[in-house]
Every structure is written in C-alpha cells, then in structure tokens.
Chain A
Amino acid sequence: MSEDYNDNKTIQAQSSEAISGGGSVSPDLDYVRPAEIPDQDLYHGHSFLTKWVFCQDAKVIGVQYFLLATFTGIIGLILSWLMRLQLGFPGAAGFMTAEHYYQFVTMHGMIMVVYFLTALFLGGFGNFLIPLMVGARDMVFPYLNMVSFWSFFVAVAVLLASFFVPGGPTGAGWTLYPPQTILEGTPGSGWGILLMCISLILFVAGFTMGGLNYLITVLQARTRGMTLMRMPLTVWGIFTATVLAMLAFPALLVGALMMTLDKVLQTSFFMPTILKAGEVLEYGGGSPILFQHLFWFFGHPEVYIVALPAFGIVSDLISVHARKNIFGYRMMVWAIVGIGALSFFVWAHHMYVSGMNPWFGFFFATTTLIIAVPTAMKVYNWILTLWRGNIRMNVVMLWCLGFIITFVNGGITGIFLGNVSVDVPLSDTYFVIAHFHMVMGIAPLMVIMGAVYHWFPLVSGRFLDEKLGKWHFWLTFLGAYSIYFPMHYLGFIGVPRRYFEMYDSPYMTSAVGMNEFISTAAFIVGAAQFILIYNIIKTLKTGKPAGHNPWKANSLEWLTPKVPPEHGNWGERLPVVHRWPYDFSVPGAKEDFIPQTTPPSEVAHTEAEKT
C-alpha cells in the first residue's frame, strides 16, 4: 500500500516536462511524483469457479474473450469456406440453396466484424494488455469486467442459437438493411433477425461494461510516472477504439431496437408502404434510409474500432523487433486520435448510391479523403521505423511486414471508394469486398497473428514454434493476398457482390476461372490457420521456456515480477515509470533497450561514455 511510497523530495512536476524525455540521462529526473490514488483492493478467487470461470482478473477475462472470439471466428471461417465453395464450384455442395448462401454470407460478416475482431481486439487484447501496460493491478471495476465477458458469452449463445430456430439465421446481409431484412423473401426474416437484434443489443450492453473499464483504467489508474504520452501505442489504439465504440454502439443499439419493434409490433420506423405479392402490407411512412444512417453512424467508427488497435499493436511490434524507437511517436498518437475523431464525420461514404440527399456526396467525400492524410502518416512512420533499424527477421516481424503490404493496398483502394464519383461504378461490386477484406480483414488479422506470436511467451511462459509459425505466415499471407488482390478486378468488370450464382453474362463468364482460383486459395488459407492451433497446443506442452522479457522489450507488461504475471500483476509494489516505452538503441547506453522502469541514474553506460 501507500507506505511503499516514501519519496519526499522537492516537487518537480514530471507532467510539465512534456513527453517521454526519452534517452536523456540527468539524475535529477529520477524523481517521480508520489501516488495520488490508493492502491487497489482486489478480490482474489479461491475456488476453481472464481479463479477460472467467473473470474475477476482482467488477464483471465482477456484470455476468455480471446478463446470465445476465436471460437466464433472459426465458425465464421467455416461459413466463408462454404460460400467460396458455392462461388468457385457452383453446385458442388448439394445442400447449398440461395437461402443458405445468403445466411452464410450474413453470419460470416456479422461474426467476423463484431463477434470476432471487435471482441478479440478490445475484449481480448484490451483486457490482457491495458492494466499491464499502464501499470495497474487490474481493471478498475473487476466485477463489471466479469459481467461484461458473460454478457458477451450470452450474446454469442443467442447468435449461434439462431442457426437452430425455424427459418434459420437471418440472411439479410451483415448490414441488415430494411425493409427486406424483416420481409418474406429474405431468409431468416422471422426468428433469425429477431435473435440477431437481441444478440447485438446484448453485445452492446456487455461491451459498454467492458469499455467503461478500459477507459477509466487508462484515464484514472495509471501508475506513477506513466503519463498519457508515455503509454505504448497499443494502449493508445485500444483506448481510442474504445472511445469510438462507446459513442458508436449507441447508434447500433437504437437501430436494432427500432428494427425489433418494426418486426414485433409492426411499427413503421423503417418501413414505407410496401406492396408484396399483390398485397399492401400494414406498414407505411417509414424511411429505410434512416436505418442506413444509423447503421453507418455506428458502422464507420466500427471499422476503426477494428483498425486502431491493430495500428497501435503493430507499432509496438515493429518497434521492439526492429530494435528502434517508433518514428514520430507524437504524430502517431495524434494520428490515432485524429482518425478516431474524424471517423464520426464520414459515415455516409458507405451510402453514396443509397438514394440519400445527393448533396451529401460532396461533404462526405471531402471528410473521407481528409482521413487519408493521418492514415498515410502512420504508414510512413512504420516504414521509417524500419529504416536504419536492426530488424529481427522473426515470425512477429513477418506478420508486421505482411500487415504493411496488405494495409497499404487496402488503404489505397479505400481512396477509390471514398472518392464519391469513383465509388459509383465500383460500389456493390467485388471491388468493395476485396477492399474491406484487405484493409479490415486481412490487415488486422496479420496484426492479431503477430501479437499472438509476440505475447504468447508472456501469457504462457513459452515460445511458439518459429518454424511452424513461418509456414503459417507464408501460407496465410501469400494465400490471402492472392485471394483479394485479383478480386478487385472482378469488381472492375462489374461483378456484383452477394450474387449466389453468376449465370452467363459475358463479363461474368470470364470470372469463373478466377473464382475457382480464389476459392482454392481460400481453402488453403483457412486450413493454414489450424497450424496456429496445433502450434499452441504443442507449445503449451513442449515449447521453449521464454523466461523474463524474452524479446528485450521496454514496456511494462514484460517487467512483472513473475512470468506469466499473477493476479495483481506487480507483487508488493507498483512499478514506477521513468521514460517512454521506445528507448531502444539509445546512444551511450550499454544495452540496446532501456525498460520503462529504469531511472535515468541507473542506465548502464558503455565504457566510452563513462570516460
């Protein structure tokens, strides 16, 4: 507790000293302000149930989120296989009707975006890394954190239950555009959509509980010396993404609730007068475009909810493994915050051809292309971090390089789609599919994989197998690139998305060969992911022990007294932070890294420097 802190030197506010002070070695900077918040009381579980199931330790909750998200992700993967089977080899799967195809498309999209990527980045990495990286004992509200996970669990259960209800899961496309979502003629327009809406509402409720935790932990529970500008970019990414989630999910919640009422109570929020099979339905006066606005007011920030944590994590991975400080840290932070803020002003670039007020095109094209600038800056800074670094060519770095290539590729095609009149011929074609899979499917996945190889030694205390990892990487990267790069060109010829069958239009027959190729690649890439699962299982038993700080990283998560860290993270006393987490290869220092907790006076110098 507080008696650990007995610094009583004269006040010299660390805060006014701006950022980092990285590398400077002046002894009077050793002083760190005393603690202003009391140490946190933690509830320690005793039974198996309270230790591993209804557990309040953020690290365990993070792993729980990770496992459940991965489980739903594998379901999403299998669904994508079935879709690709139909597209590449029509009729190969006998049971595949158009209804099934559209249900698989919808569930694949929704699972991957919300239940896999969002849950994995924020719930998984967020829970595990935030308290460790900012030097807290745990999340600030451990009980709420636990409830958050179990809400997510129920949300997933409800989502998967929709596979077994009459009519099957909804097949309305992941965007769930009304009116077709809740009308006959769309698969799963009865129970399916209802369960989808309920599951989303549960997810949002659960996520809000988790999100409050992440935000308050970052804002109010950092350790001594940890200023915002000394936080690793991982924390910045997850933090900003959580802010976006807290402000964007409300729109989804409202949309889902109104849709539920339209379905159950026959209200007409989104439903205009509709003539169906010769009969006028009991609806009238609603506006389908309103749902699209609400959906994308959530949907666009959602893209960055997935992307920003990836940006943050990859910055840290590149920095550690290139043994070089991240280039332009302040620019990186401001870019993350700026992208996050701007993401609330661009939503209708998903709706250029939706029939909204046509004048919106000018506004949204401009705001959208403004976002390209901070995003491009981040890319430059990543490669400038590699420049004159000392790059370890291990599996983690491979995933980072893969990320940069796929992300730049997807980012550039984003400029096509964001630029309003260029979007007109390309929207609703395979170009869009290729773009968003490249930029928010493959690119964040590369980061997740890199992060798994990077932090696995911390979670389990053992290294993952490098050789298997390299197979995993090359199969995934080359495979995924050869799926999505050619797919852009299908969009150019005009092949529309969400087509169950192409028939024999002249420009679509030329797509047949490519579809076969893409599907084959998709099967291989999907199968390659099981290498990782095998690797993890194998490593847990026989992997090489990692020991303390195996990557020679600087950030706090590697500096816990025990590996893997135990509940409470820090043992007797909380760490005290003296520098930013990117002090790699500081001139004059003996080692090529200086951990954040090393006070300036204790930095070991080279012989030359001392004399």
Chain B
Amino acid sequence: MSDPKIEGLALKPGFKGMAEDTSSDQTMFKGVHWGKAMMWIFLLSDTFIFSCFLISYMKGRGSTPVEWPNPSEVFALDAFGVPVPLLLIAIMTFVLITSSGTMALAVKYGYEKNRKMCGWLVLATAIGGLTFVGMQAFEWSKLIHEGVRPWENPFGAAQFGSFFFMITGFHGTHVSIGVIFLFIYAYKVFAGHYDSGKRGWFTSMKGDYVEIEILGLYWHFVDLVWVFIFAFFYLW
C-alpha cells in the first residue's frame, strides 16, 4: 500500500527511493509483509507458468496447417433461439470481474478493521468464484457433448481441444483453490482471528488483516490471467 513509515529512515519516492531501498539493510521492500512479498514472487513464478502455456498455445496454433476452429462460433450459445457469440464467456468474464471488485473492497475494509464488511465481501468473492467454476464446468460439458476431446475435435485442428482443456483447466484449478481459501478466510474473518491475532493453521505467525490482502493478490491474479485467456483464446 502507501509508503510505510520506518524509524530512522526517510523513504523517498521513485527511482531514488528504489536505489535507497535496495542499498539499505534489513529489508528491500520497505514495509512489505513477508507473506505479501512471498505471494508476489510466487505470482511472478506463476506468471511464467501461464506465459509458457500461452506461448505453447501460440506456437501450436500458429504452426498447424489445419484450419483452427472459429472460437466465436464454437463458444456461441443459443439465447431465445438466436446464437449469440461468446455469450457464456462474456458472462463468465462479468462474474470474475465482479468478484475481483468485491475482493478489492474486502481488502480495503480489512485494513480499516471493518470485520463485518470485510467478511461479507470475502464471502461474496467466494460465491462469485464458485459461480465461475460452475459455468466453466457447464462450458466443458457442452463442448464434450459436441465431441470436443483433448485429442480431437470435430471443428478442425486437434490442438484446439488439447490447448483449450489444458489451459482453462489449469486456470480453473487456480480458481478452485482460490475459492477454497476464500471460504476458509471468510470464516476466519467472521471468527475474528485477524482482530485477535490468533495463530494460523500452517504457520506460527499471528493472524493479521494483511492476509486478506495476500489472498486478494492471488485472486486478482486469477482474474488477470483470465484477461489474457479471454483475449488470446476466445477473441483471436
């Protein structure tokens, strides 16, 4: 968040501040909680995973001489008898962004120690995530029903099915893990673990609302990845 205050050190903004932070003792990321720094580095690593997936997808799609199915048609859904392109995907995007927004507010209220608000917003985020996973399951079953398999598909290049199931599956796994943690954290917020500083489950560290921000980072990252999947998989 905003610049923390640190005893004995005047924090400067911008690149000058960066040079001083880097050359100072004790910490490089001034005022950043260990867990938050860890989540950021983990997300960086995870970014590389998703980048490798998407790069492989690009290479696979680009180098096949067989025609690639048109996602706009494949993912169309009948609404009142009219096929609407990418309808479900649009709704999924809407849901995920909604949950991202509630998460951002949950973090804000967490820092303000507004236990009730924070808890309800985390819960709302969890429900949003759950809806997303549900719709993804629906989309998968629809495609499987139409004969799309990881090893083949009736619309064109076989790699379409492979990459689709692998990449959305990997993203869906991330969402599912996120949902589980969101429910756990919602419980922990309501139970007041972050107000009382109750020690966590895996760790010997005391509970603190910064954990909501850490969870928030993860959840926004899941949303971020979806932005790229949406652009490259459904719009390309």
Contact = CB atoms under 8 A, between A and B. Distances in A.
A–B in direct contact per CB < 8 Å: yes
Interface of A: 11, 13-16, 18-19, 32-37, 41-43, 140-144, 208, 211-212, 215-216, 219-230, 246-247, 249-251, 253-255, 257-258, 261, 265-269, 282, 284-287, 290, 293-294, 297, 577
A254 B63 contact: no
Interface stretch (B43-51, B71-79, B100-108, B112-120): B43-51
A216 B45 CA distance: 14
B90 interface: no
Contacts of B44: 246-247
A227 to B, nearest CB: 5
A203 B195 CA distance: 37
Contacts of B23: 15-16, 18-19, 227-229
Nearest to A227: B25
A11 B66 CA distance: 69
A285 B159 contact: yes
A253 B204 contact: no
B26 A247 contact: no
Contacts of B70: none
Nearest to A17: B23
A41 B32 CA distance: 18
B25 A33 contact: yes
User: Size class of B's contact patch?
Assistant: 35 or more
Contacts of A34: 7-8
B159 A220 contact: no
A18 B20 CA distance: 9
Contact of B28 (A18, A220, A293): A220
B86 interface: no
Given A254-B52, A265-B150, A219 B9 contact: no
Given A35-B26, A282-B151, A294 B52 contact: yes
A218 B7 CA distance: 21
A220 B34 contact: yes
A164 B23 CA distance: 53
Contact of A33 (B8, B41, B159, B161): B8
B108 to A, nearest CB: 24
A16 B23 CA distance: 7
22 contacts: A11-B9, A13-B8, A15-B25, A33-B7, A33-B9, A36-B30, A140-B38, A141-B38, A208-B42, A216-B37, A220-B29, A222-B25, A228-B28, A230-B25, A251-B52, A253-B52, A267-B161, A267-B166, A285-B60, A286-B159, A287-B60, A290-B60
Given A220-B27, A285-B66, A287-B59, A143 B151 contact: no
Nearest to B170: A257
B24 A13 contact: yes
Which interface residue of B20, B46, B166 has the most chain A CB atoms within 10 A? B166
Given A143-B204, A247-B45, A223 B8 contact: no
